[in-house]
Amino acid sequence: MIKLINGGVCAPQGFAASGVHCGIRKNKDKKDLALLVADVKCATACVYTTNLVKGAPILVTKKNVADGYAQAVIVNSGNANTCNADGVEIAEGMCALVEKHCRIAASDVVVASTGVIGQPLSLQPIAAGMDELVKGLGKTAENSLFAAQAIMTTDTVSKEIAYEFNLDGKTCKIGAICKGVGMLCPNMATMLMFVTTDVAITPALLQKALSADVKDSLNMVSVDRDTSTNDTLCVMASGLAGNDLIDEENADYQAFRKALFAVTSQMCRKIAADGEGATKLIECKVSGAKSKKIARTVAKSVVCSNLLKAAIFGADANWGRVLCAIGYSGAMVDVDKIDVAFRSVAGTVEVCKNGRGVPFSEEVAKQVLLEKEIEILVDLKDGNYASTGWGCDLTYEYVHINGDYRS
């Protein structure tokens, strides 16, 4: 039983968070520096952007978590610290500041940055903000919120979540904060997510669980088909829940994976729903595939289609764009078997049966697609595998946001 609770990254035992405005961003009303600190050294696992151009913080984080452990996370927004000559020096400097102010070894710090690429980043405002940042550390839901706000860029809302579940009769918790609304595809993007849990698990199995999870969660999100340079998804496990150490792929490991997916999949919905300029969440649910790979490929192709995203924005039931996206996805499917329907709280409308259009009411379809959350149901009728992809509509506002992003 997985239960939704409050607290974000501060819900699990052993984690404190903080977020402040230190001066990286011009707008003083927007926080731009976050800190997450654990009471103990944590088993830690990460996945990163697939872009060959990577932000300097990723290079430093990879080195710091190579032993499978970390105890703190420091993140700035407003500047991606990418393609800078002194980028690694700045990222290492941020870790050193954590060591100085929190007495945690710099080599046990995860560092991340998000914002404009190619702009010089000064360590001065970060150093100046550390006293306030550390003083603000706390273990409340508000502290998690402050950290979530501090990592936002063009996000319109902060993103956090937490769940409670049981292992070996022990109450365990898992929480997360996240940012990301643009440059989202493929295989992660300008997305930063930090997950905390008090489950006791080995670094090796934590990494295995995370690497498997992203195939069905973060890698299934698309906002605009661009891949950023700074994506980092980090999971830290304090082990303070008191469960038996998960050191093999047993029932407890599977239960932990379900809890992890509960967190990451809900974050996927939040990310897609808040896509840059978005007015609607698109959720493509593929069933009847003859392999998991085919199901994933089809779902991702559909939510990536700019033509479909534009049609959803206009509440136009142009289902041919769904079939088109499936057709060029590269997945081996029988196009003469495919069924497609659109669904929302306003109802369900079937638009395609066995690869052919069927009569439907345009008025009803319009009402279905005017809602803020749209499901595209694709049945391949060729097997027992399923997958879900998350995306959003493509609007005029997306162009406006990215036309003057640096300002």
Separation between Cα atoms, residue 218 and residue 201, nearest integer Å? 22
Kind of pairing between the strands at 192-197 and 232-237: parallel
Name, in order, each residue with C-beta under 8 angstroms of 219's C-beta and a sequence gap of 6 or more.
Answer: 186, 187, 188, 296, 300
- pLDDT of 189 > 50? The answer is no
| Residue span of the structural domain in which 358 resides | 281-403
What does the pLDDT look like over 359-380, one tens digit per residue? 999 999 999 999 999 999 999 9
- pLDDT of 209 > 60? The answer is yes
> Burial, 131: exposed, middle or buried (Cβ in 10 Å; 0-12, 13-18, 19+)?
exposed
Helix or strand holding residue 40 (H, E): strand 33-48
- pLDDT of 11 > 70? The answer is yes
Averaged pLDDT score across all residues of the chain? 92
What does the pLDDT look like over 142-176, one tens digit per residue? 999 999 999 998 788 899 999 999 998 999 999 99
CATH of the domain at 358: 3.10.20.340
Nearest to 299 by CA among 275, 272, 317: 272
Is the same domain home to 113 and 232?
yes
Confidence band, pLDDT 50/70/90 cuts, at residue 404: low
Is the same domain home to 354 and 388?
yes
Active site residue 171: no
Is the same domain home to 250 and 371?
no
Is the same domain home to 66 and 198?
yes
What does the pLDDT look like over 210-234, one tens digit per residue? 999 999 998 888 765 555 566 889 9
Is the same domain home to 150 and 233?
yes
* Share of residues in the chain with pLDDT > 70 (%): 94
Six-digit token string for 323: 């079939």
Is the same domain home to 19 and 53?
yes
Helices 203-213, 251-273: axis angle to 10 degrees equals: 40
Is the same domain home to 241 and 290?
no
CB 98 within 8 A of CB 35: yes
- Select which of 153, 190, 229, 388 is catalytic: 190
Count of domains in the chain?
2
CB 390 within 8 A of CB 184: no
Domain finish residue from 232, 256, 273: 273
Angle at 260 between CA 325 and CA 383, to 5 degrees: 40
